[in-house]
Structure formats: structure tokens, C-alpha cells
Structure 1
Amino acid sequence: MQIDLRPARPEEAGALSDLALRSKARWGYDEQFLNACRADLTIRPAEVSARRVVVAEAAGQLAGFYTLDGTPPEGELGNLWIEPAHMRRGLGRRLWQHAVATADGLGFTTIRIDADPNAEGFYREMGATTVGETPSTAIPGRMLPQMRFVLPGTVAGG
């Protein structure tokens, strides 16, 4: 299936928020947990204009998206979500590679990721390392793996 990557449009904010929740739900989280995460996973129209939000589109439908935040030298992968029907087909890898290429073009040397524990293995496969933990902003007392990816060609300490 043909996948096109393009900048998100502000009017897609609601659909992106819903996609993020469906994607997170795929990990088996219950409704109470997802409701606690809803605010953190909500993308607002103004954010789409102000942030770097890239969508993957398949046959005119949203299949996934990512956000890349920050200013060089360090960026943050704020979101990377895949529509459940498109999972395990290489789309996450493709979005990741696009985010890394975008970060490189903007002059970033590192990308920080506060990962869902279930996604830690994916990011490790992509070359990120776990450098610590960070508190969840949605669930008090829950800790998330904090990961770091050093862009190829940059100095690890830089």
C-alpha cells in the first residue's frame, strides 16, 4: 500500500488525537488509564501549526503521525503513533526514519524520547538508548523510560 508522508493540517488535530488514543489502547490499557492519558495525547489545531507534525496517509486515511519538538541541538520525539490496522507493517520505522532525517536537516544532534514502556524495545531497535526514567505527566507515580538517540555523524557527548 502506498504511504505518503506530509505535514499535518490543523483541521486534522481531532483525528490525530483519536488515532493516538487508539494506538495507545493497543497495549491493553484500560479505559480509566486511557482517560488519564487523554489530555497528554490531545493535539490541538494551534499545535499543528506551531509544532512539527508529520502524518502518514494511506489511501486518503491517516495511518500514523509523529511530532518533533525542540530547537537544535536537542529535539524531542513528542509523539509517534500508528493506527492499529497499520501496525507491524514497517510504518513506525518509516516515520522514525523520517523524523531522524528531519531532525538532521534542522541541525539536531540528539532526540530525547519519553517512551511508553511497551515502545521501549522499538526505540532500542531504532538505535536509541535508555538513559534514565521520567515521571509520567498523566499517571502520578508512574515512571517512563527516558531514551536518547544520537544522530549519525554527531559526537555522542555533543
Structure 2
Amino acid sequence: MEIKKASLGDNEILTKITKKSKAYWGYSEEQILKWNDNLTISKDYIENNSVFKLVNGNEIVGYYSYIIKEQNDVLLDNLFILPEYIGKGFGKYLMNDFLNRMKNEKFEKITLDSEPNAEEFYLKFGFKKIGEFETSIKNRFMPIMEISL
């Protein structure tokens, strides 16, 4: 496994990973289509943000991306893995790389909006729930989480 900076040409595979990973949680094809804009990783997004891909052999199997909000604050914008790799340590590998990168770059705080089904994953790394907001799906709330480094 290796983590590399994503290139502009990775946008289609990263979008595919995002949509497949989101669908893993049981969302309908119709719902995934409604979220299409939010689940699409464009070349512009890759060019303007920090995006790192996880390569296993010759296959891109996951990625994370982050946005610098303020001098010491970062938003973890995306962390997705292909469904067949979920539960096999790939997400942990990505998250540890991300956290180490943030510590090395001297950031002090990370926030994220968690997929409700992934909240436990982030709690294991020390993130704490600091709030939530209702999504476009009635009675579905996304946890807002943060960690201090």
C-alpha cells in the first residue's frame, strides 16, 4: 500500500470510489443521484485542495482530502474506501497517514462532518462529536466532529 498525491486524471476513479463507498451504507441509487454534485470529485477540486490517494498494487482503492480553514485548522473533507476494502484496515491506514501529516504540518485542530454510519470510526481515533445537522433526508443527522492535535 502506498499513499500518493492525487493527480488531475484521478478525478473519475475518486468519484467512483466516493459513490460506491456512500452506497455501501444502504443509500438507494436514487439518493446517490440526488447527491451527485456533492459526491463528484472534479479536476478543479483536486487542483485546489489537498487530495491523497491510497494505491494497493496498481489500483486506487481509497483517498482522503482536506481543506485548510484557518492557519491552524483543517477540515477533513473526504475519506472514502472502496466497499470491498472496508473493515480490512485500509481506512485506518488512510486516517493514520492523514493525522500524521496534520501533526507534521503543525495543525492544531481538525473538524469533519461525518457520515452517520462512520461516526464510530472517527471516535476510535479520538474525534469527539461537537454537534450535528439535519441532512436532506428527514431525521438523518450528520455528526460534526473535531479533534485537537
Q: Please indicate the TM-score interval, normalised by the length of the shorter structure.
A: over 0.9
Equivalence for 2:87: 88
Aligned AA for 1:51?
Answer: N
Cα distance in 2, alignment partners of residues 61 and 4 from structure 1: 10
Cα distance in 2, alignment partners of residues 20 and 95 from structure 1: 14
Cα distance in 1, alignment partners of residues 137 and 85 from structure 2: 31
What does residue range 36-51 of structure 1 map to in structure 2 within 5 Å? 36-51=34-49
Cα distance in 1, alignment partners of residues 71 and 62 from structure 2: 25
Which TM-score applies when normalising by structure 2? Answer: 0.93
Residue 105 in structure 1 maps to residue 108 in structure 2:
no
Structure 1 runs of 4+ aligned residues shifted over 6 Å read none
Q: How many residues align?
A: 147
Cα distance in 2, alignment partners of residues 7 and 91 from structure 1: 17
Unaligned runs of 5+ in 2: none
What does residue range 141-156 of structure 1 map to in structure 2 within 5 Å? 142-151=140-149
What does residue range 20-39 of structure 1 map to in structure 2 within 5 Å? 20-39=18-37
Bigger drift between 140-149 and 50-59 goes to 140-149
Equivalence for 2:4: 6
Aligned AA for 1:8?
Answer: A
Question: Helix, strand or coil for the counterpart of 1:102?
Answer: helix
C-alpha deviations, 1:95-123, integer Å up to 9, x for none? 11111111122221111010010000100
Q: Is the 8 A contact 1:22 1:84 kept in 2?
A: yes
Aligned AA for 1:83?
Answer: L
1:37, CA displacement in angstroms? 1.6
Residue 62 in structure 1 maps to residue 60 in structure 2:
yes
Cα distance in 2, alignment partners of residues 115 and 128 from structure 1: 10
Q: Percent identity?
A: 27
C-alpha deviations, 1:2-40, integer Å up to 9, x for none? x11100010010110111000010001111211122211
RMSD of aligned Cα (Å): 1.3
1:135, CA displacement in angstroms? 4.3
Cα distance in 1, alignment partners of residues 132 and 72 from structure 2: 21
1:86, CA displacement in angstroms? 1.2
Aligned AA for 2:30?
Answer: Q
Cα distance in 1, alignment partners of residues 119 and 137 from structure 2: 20
